[in-house]
Amino acid sequence: STFLHVLGTLDAPVAGSMEVDGVDVLGLGDADLARFRNRTVGFVFQLHHLLPQCSILENVLVPSLALPKADGKKREIRARELLEAVGLGHRVNHRPGQLSGGERQRAAVARALINQPKLLLADEPTGALDSTSGEGVVQLLLGLHREGTAVVVITHDRDLASRFDRQASMRDGQLVDDRRRPS
C-alpha cells in the first residue's frame, strides 16, 4: 500500500526521484501535482472511499468534476458504461450504504476509470469480491492493460498476480523478486 501511495503521488519518498509518463512528479507543486494525479492516475483503494450521501453514479463522476468544463452528458454516459462494465448498471441511483461490500468495490473501480487514466493503481481490487465479481474486475483490468493503460495491482493473491505479465515481490520494503511472463 505504501508503494502505491508513493507511485500515485499521495505520499512522497524520503529519497530518490520518480518519473511518471515523462513527468518528474516530485518536482511538481501542489496544484500541478493534484492536476497530474487527477488526469493521469486512477486509484482503486482497499477501502472504497465512496461518498455516502451520493449515488453510485455521482460517486463515479466525482473525479471528473475537477476537469475543465466538458460535455457533462458525455461524462455521464461514460460513467454509466463503466458501471455497466462492472455489473452495476442496475444500481446507479443507489447510495453506497445500499450496496454490498463487493458492489462498493466495483463502483470504486468504475470511479478510478472515469478520467481514462494512463496509470491505474489497484490495492487488493478483488479482496472483497466473490469469485464471479472478482473475475469480472480482473478481466476489466487485463483488458485495460491490453488497450495501453499501465496497471499496477498490489495483491497477496498469487493466482491473481500470475495472470499479469509481470510480477514483483517486496519484503520489508525491498524489491526481492521481479519476473516477467515469457512471451
- At 110, which amino acid appears? A
pLDDT digits (tens, 9 = 90+) for 85-108: 888 999 999 999 999 888 888 899
User: How far is Cα 154 from Cα 125, in angstroms, rounded to an integer?
Assistant: 8
Spatial distance between the Cα atoms of 48 and 11, rounded to a whole number of angstroms: 18
pLDDT surpasses 70 at 70? no
Residues 120-137, mean pLDDT to the nearest whole number: 84
Residue-level pLDDT at 183: 61
Confidence at 6, pLDDT banded by 50, 70, 90 = confident
